[in-house]
């Protein structure tokens, strides 16, 4: 709510100053190629440095970057999508792109998401898996090759705990630790021992106790609970990190237990239990992070320590460190790395100005495109809005009225609603109303002050503090102006 307090002795912040009431809010920040609005800041301008994703006022806890679109799980479990929608990948029933997050209808209690090349996936708390978007190779798993502009449930699957996308194939982990795959299979990326595409989920034989999966252009990864990493699919460029049959899953030789991994276009990243990062595969655009040639066996990425997550696009890579900062390397043609330049980085460099990060997702751009975008989740400084009042000095004549403008500005792109309450403490004979009484951050309200004919003139100016508050995210902001009640007009 908003309160006005009168009194010359009141200690208040300067006009426009803000005060935080809570610090547990997360939102999304993004950068890079933005031709279809996949960065989510309301524009189609490519961003060389991080910008806030326009927040629907709910906050984002998990994000996923696709080739030209993005997904985000809000704090209330709803799902939002933005960017390209030419194949229905935003799930809203249409094909119109959205430069700001748009609600995916019909999905609640979303726990996991994955964004592929023009298609999307979501796991709900009941373990069901839903898919929509491009389906030319059966990557939606519904038994057809019909595109879907709204979510459809993937039949035959229950208790899904993780999901991942490749270029045109999909992987899912079930609660029993087994893996199902479907979609394109030209290079054996489904792991069922064949190169036959599948329109419905099939079992990956020989895999148990799996906790997480990942997909590249044409190869796949699975992480088991014992810390072993398994791979299958296209071996020609070294992305499997091993030799032997590529049509079936087999372990990648690693010196320590693996705790995280990412499948890039034609390369692979892994994090071991000591916090170090490893890479292997094709090294076009320096995606291996060591400035060297391509290689088919794992090797350490120099300059990285205390890594807790990695994410890989086709030609751009990111690592999240334990201090919640990020480092990036690889192609940087259109701001892929967010370091303010378009200079390629053969080895990891820090991405300045992005702190408190809890998750990072790099889009797996299509095979012959060099531009990607990145989305991260990070805390939002609160409050997520500010207030400004004009004019800053007001004379209110007895028996008269005066109007002020209360302007609100969203911080970090959050479009939360700000309540404005008429319940004010004012001198005898003075009343105040707001029109409207609540606004979405970025909007304005007119504050009207009225002094009745019985009001008394004040000898000095009084400081008036306007305090606004929001529930999602919870926080308050304040601003001040000077008020003096003057004799009636002649």
Residue-level pLDDT at 17: 28
- Residues 342 and 395 both lie in one domain: no
Q: Are residues 138 and 163 in the same domain?
A: yes
Are residues 452 and 305 both part of a single domain?
no
Looking at residue 382, its pLDDT comes to 81
At residue 16, the pLDDT reads 29
Question: 85 and 223 share a domain?
Answer: yes
pLDDT at position 367, please?
Answer: 72
Which residue, of 379, 397, 420, is where some domain finishes? 379
Same domain, 413 and 372: no
Choose the final residue of a domain: 360, 379, 398.
Answer: 379
Supply the CATH number for residue 279's domain: 2.130.10.30
Same structural domain, 402 and 297? no
| Confidence (pLDDT) at 18 | 29
Same domain, 331 and 408: no
Q: 62 and 191, same structural domain?
A: yes
The reply to whether 269 and 372 lie within a common domain is yes
CA torsion through residues 34, 36, 39, 45, sign: positive
Which domain-ending residue is among 379, 407, 438? 379
200 vs 127: CA distance, rounded Å:
17
What is the CATH classification number for the domain harbouring 431? 2.60.40.10
Q: Which domain holds residue 10?
A: 3-21+383-486
Together in a domain, 324 and 469: no
- Domain total in the chain: 2
Domain identity same for 115 and 246: yes
Q: Residue 251's pLDDT is what? A: 98
Residue ranges of the chain with per-residue pLDDT less than 50: 1-23
pLDDT attached to residue 353: 87
- pTM of the entire structure? 0.86
What pLDDT score does 425 carry?
66
Question: Residues 464, 321: one domain?
Answer: no
């Amino acid at each position: 709510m908003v309160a006005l307090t009168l009194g010359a002795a009141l200690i208040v912040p300067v006009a426009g100053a803000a005060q935080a009431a809570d610090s547990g809010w997360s939102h999304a920040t993004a950068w890079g190629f933005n031709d279809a609005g996949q960065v989510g800041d309301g524009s189609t301008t490519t961003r060389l440095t991080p910008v806030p994703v326009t927040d629907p006022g709910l906050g984002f806890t998990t994000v996923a970057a696709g080739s030209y679109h993005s997904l985000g799980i809000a704090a209330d479990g709803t799902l939002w999508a933005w960017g390209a929608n030419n194949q229905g990948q935003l799930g809203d029933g249409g094909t119109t792109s959205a430069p700001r997050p748009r609600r995916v209808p019909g999905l609640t209690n979303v726990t996991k998401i994955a964004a592929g090349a023009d298609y999307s996936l979501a796991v709900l708390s009941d373990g069901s898996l839903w898919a929509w978007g491009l389906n030319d190779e059966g990557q939606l798993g519904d038994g057809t090759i019909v595109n879907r502009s709204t979510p459809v449930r993937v039949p035959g699957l229950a208790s899904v705990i993780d999901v991942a996308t490749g270029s045109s194939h999909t992987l899912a982990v079930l609660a029993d630790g087994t893996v199902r795959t479907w979609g394109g299979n030209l290079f054996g990326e489904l792991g069922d021992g064949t190169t036959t595409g599948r329109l419905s989920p099939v079992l990956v034989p020989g895999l148990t106790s799996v906790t997480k999966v990942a997909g590249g252009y044409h190869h796949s990864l699975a992480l088991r609970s014992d810390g072993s990493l398994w791979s299958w699919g296209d071996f020609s460029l070294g992305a499997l990190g091993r030799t032997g049959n590529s049509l079936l899953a087999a372990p990648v030789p690693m010196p320590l237990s693996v705790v995280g991994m990412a499948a890039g276009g034609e390369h692979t990243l892994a994090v071991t239990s000591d916090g170090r990062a490893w890479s292997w595969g094709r090294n076009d655009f320096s995606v291996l992070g060591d400035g060297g040639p391509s290689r088919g066996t794992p090797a350490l990425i120099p300059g990285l320590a205390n890594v807790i997550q990695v994410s890989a696009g086709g030609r751009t890579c990111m690592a999240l460190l334990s201090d919640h900062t990020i480092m990036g390397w690889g192609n940087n043609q259109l701001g892929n790395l967010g370091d303010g330049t378009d200079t390629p980085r053969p080895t990891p460099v820090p991405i300045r100005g992005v702190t408190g990060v809890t998750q990072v997702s790099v889009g797996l751009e299509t095979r012959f495109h060099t531009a990607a975008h990145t989305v991260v989740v990070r805390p939002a400084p609160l409050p997520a809005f500010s207030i400004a009042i004009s004019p800053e000095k007001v004379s209110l004549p007895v028996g008269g009225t005066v109007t002020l403008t209360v302007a609100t500005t969203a911080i970090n792109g959050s479009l939360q609603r700000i309540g404005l309450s008429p319940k004010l403490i004012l001198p005898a004979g003075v009343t105040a109303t707001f029109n409207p009484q609540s606004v979405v951050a970025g909007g304005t309200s007119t504050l009207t002050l009225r002094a009745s004919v019985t009001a008394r003139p004040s000898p000095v100016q009084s400081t008036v503090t306007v305090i606004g508050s929001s529930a999602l995210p919870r926080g308050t902001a304040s601003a001040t102006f000077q008020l003096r009640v003057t004799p009636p007009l002649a």
